[in-house]
């Protein structure tokens, strides 16, 4: 049996956002519950160069990636259980690919092409 996949879990927030400030403790709890993944808290204004052309319309926004492939990118409700389920589903998805010997292309995210490209660029920059 292979090891569980290591996901890149990124929270895109802003210091001025009250919901983001509240979500920060939840994000820390998420890290404690699944410490094998890599986590990054990014303030979209402080790290604007890294965020690039990503248009964050709703906070908090999470990006989940694996080996540079963006698996999920979008707003989430500030509830720990929702974030835990999101990570579990994405880890299961990657585990199935690995077990089948697949190396899939970038999954379809349902975002405009420019936003998909921007998230893929962020995932690549964080590898």
| Three state DSSP letters for 51-86 | HCCCCCCCCCEEEEEECCEEEEEEECCCCHHHHHHH
Q: What is the overall mean pLDDT for the chain? A: 93
pLDDT of residue 102: 87
Tell the burial category of 27 from Cβ atoms under 10 Å away from its Cβ (0-12, 13-18, 19+). buried
* Domain residue extents for the chain: 8-126
pLDDT of residue 2: 60
With a cut of 70, which residues of the chain have pLDDT below it?
1-2
Report the C-alpha gap between 42 and 21 in whole angstroms.
12
Residue 54's closest CA among 127, 126, 115, 125?
Answer: 115
pLDDT of residue 4: 83
Task: Give 8-126's CATH code, choosing from 3.40.30.10, 3.40.50.10860, 3.40.50.150, 3.40.640.10.
Answer: 3.40.30.10
pLDDT of residue 3: 74
pLDDT of residue 104: 76
């Amino acid at each position: 049996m292979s090891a569980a996949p290591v996901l890149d879990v990124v929270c895109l927030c802003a210091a001025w956002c009250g919901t983001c400030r509240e979500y920060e403790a939840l994000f820390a709890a998420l890290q404690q519950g699944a410490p094998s993944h890599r986590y990054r808290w990014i303030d979209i204004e402080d790290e604007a160069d890294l965020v690039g052309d990503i248009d964050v319309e709703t906070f908090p926004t999470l990006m989940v990636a694996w080996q540079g492939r963006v698996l999920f990118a979008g707003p989430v409700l500030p509830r720990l259980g929702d974030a835990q389920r999101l990570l579990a589903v994405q880890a299961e998805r990657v585990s199935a690919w690995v077990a089948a010997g697949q190396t899939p292309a970038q999954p379809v995210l349902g975002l405009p092409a420019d936003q998909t490209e921007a998230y893929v660029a962020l995932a690549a920059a964080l590898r």
